[in-house]
């Protein structure tokens, strides 16, 4: 482990120790876990958590990470790929995937990018990764003799453009499929339909999770989301720039909480369930920028870019009530703590 990476690894380890409250881990003992999209934000956090738990509780886990490319992941988390962690890499594109490791007990399918730049620049690739990729993973899962649980990572955008999730997991709002920006939402909805079809036909122990917005280590500051841009500006000592009037509303869940909730879903969730994943505490982007300015302890100027045409304020906030009521989960990091930890990691 390099000296540069050591403080970052220590910070993540502290976060995992904080979220890992008592949980019956007997079902994980000696298990094999497969994670598609294993090089992404969610994949790396899940790998960190499972490696941490395996060592702390002597679980003897085996992790198989599936991704097209691991170059960036190896730079961000070299300690997971140094041969000492129980991690094996499968360089595979889910669009052409046929088989998964036959010893798999648990499967998390997270192989798709939520980055709108990818959706806009490579729309066919992005859509096929979600649709054909999900179908390939599901069919491969039907041939796994030991499979105990499968978690399909969908998106909060299946609810529509202004995703508030006011009615738990049932508040859908229509969107226009002729609009180019709808392609990601349409693909995720179709992927969920494939999950329903194959779960019923093959009796797979499958659940859908609908993620909203997150913050934390392993999320690129170059990503096209406001929180990443604000933190990037803050750690670089630059003025924080807000696109539009800052009235859009978002909520943010910290990466460590996200990983712990995902693991609980996988081990204790109900087959056939659809769970929202995220914080219900929404903030405007203007308030978010101000919080980051204060936490970064720097004299920064909030610069509003030229206002966008007046429209309905975008809202992307879930209702995670079903997860809380069924699994008794809680947040260990509030928004200010999540932002502070992220700023510390990137500083």
Give the per-residue pLDDT at 330.
Answer: 92
Residue 31, classified by CB atoms within 10 Å of its CB into exposed (0-12), middle (13-18) or buried (19+), is: buried
- Which sign does the torsion angle of CA 9, 13, 15, 16 carry? positive
Cβ partners under 8 Å of residue 148, min gap 6 = 27, 31, 105, 106, 205
| SS3 category, 31 | coil
**In the chain, which stretches have pLDDT less than 70?**
1-4, 161-175, 305-313
Neighbouring CB atoms inside 10 A of 21's CB total: 11
Give the per-residue pLDDT at 305.
Answer: 67
The secondary structure element, H or E, covering residue 191 is helix 183-202
> Domain locations in the chain?
6-214+252-279+319-331
CATH of domain 6-214+252-279+319-331: 3.40.50.720
Give the per-residue pLDDT at 314.
Answer: 83
Instruction: Find, among 110, 109, 52, the residue nearest to 85 by Cα.
Output: 52
Give the per-residue pLDDT at 48.
Answer: 98
Burial 306-344 (b: 16+ CB within 10 A, else e): eeeeeeeeebbbbbbebbeeebebebbbebeebbbbbbe
Q: What angle do CA 124, 118, 248 make, to 5 degrees?
A: 125
Give the per-residue pLDDT at 103.
Answer: 97
Taking only the tens place, the pLDDT of each residue in 182-215 is 788 899 999 999 999 999 999 999 999 999 999 9
Give the integer Cα–Cα distance in Å for 47 and 53.
Answer: 10
């Amino acid at each position: 482990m390099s000296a540069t990476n050591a403080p970052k690894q220590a910070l993540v380890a502290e976060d995992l120790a904080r979220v890992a409250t008592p949980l019956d881990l007997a079902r994980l003992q000696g298990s094999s876990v497969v994670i598609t999209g294993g090089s992404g934000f969610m994949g790396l956090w899940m790998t960190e958590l499972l490696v941490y738990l395996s060592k702390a509780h002597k679980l003897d886990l085996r992790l198989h990470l599936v991704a097209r490319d691991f170059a960036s992941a190896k730079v961000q988390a070299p300690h997971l790929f140094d041969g000492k962690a129980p991690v094996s890499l499968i360089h595979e594109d889910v669009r052409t995937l046929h088989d998964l490791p036959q010893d798999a007990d648990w499967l998390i399918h997270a192989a798709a990018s939520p980055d709108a730049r990818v959706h806009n620049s490579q729309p066919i690739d992005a859509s096929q990764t979600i649709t054909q990729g999900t179908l390939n993973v599901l069919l491969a899962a039907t041939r796994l003799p030991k499979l105990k649980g499968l978690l399909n990572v969908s998106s909060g955008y299946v609810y529509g453009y202004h995703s508030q999730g006011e009615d738990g997991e049932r508040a859908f709002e229509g969107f226009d499929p002729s609009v180019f920006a709808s392609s990601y939402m349409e693909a995720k909805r179709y992927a969920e339909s494939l999950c329903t079809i194959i779960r019923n036909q093959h009796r797979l122990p499958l659940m859908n999770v609908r993620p909203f917005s997150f913050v934390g280590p392993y999320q690129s500051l170059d990503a096209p989301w406001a929180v990443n841009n604000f933190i990037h500006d803050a750690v670089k000592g630059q003025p924080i720039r807000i696109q539009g009037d800052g009235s859009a509303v978002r909520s943010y869940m910290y990466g460590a909480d996200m990983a712990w909730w995902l693991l609980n879903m996988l081990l204790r969730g109900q087959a056939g369930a659809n769970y929202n994943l995220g914080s219900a505490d929404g903030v405007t982007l203007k308030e978010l920028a101000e919080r980051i300015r204060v936490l970064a302890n720097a004299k920064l100027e909030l610069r509003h870019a030229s206002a966008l045409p007046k429209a309905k304020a975008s809202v992307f906030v879930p209702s995670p009530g079903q997860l809380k009521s069924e699994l008794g989960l809680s947040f260990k990091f509030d928004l200010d703590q999540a932002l502070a930890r992220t700023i510390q990691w990137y500083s």
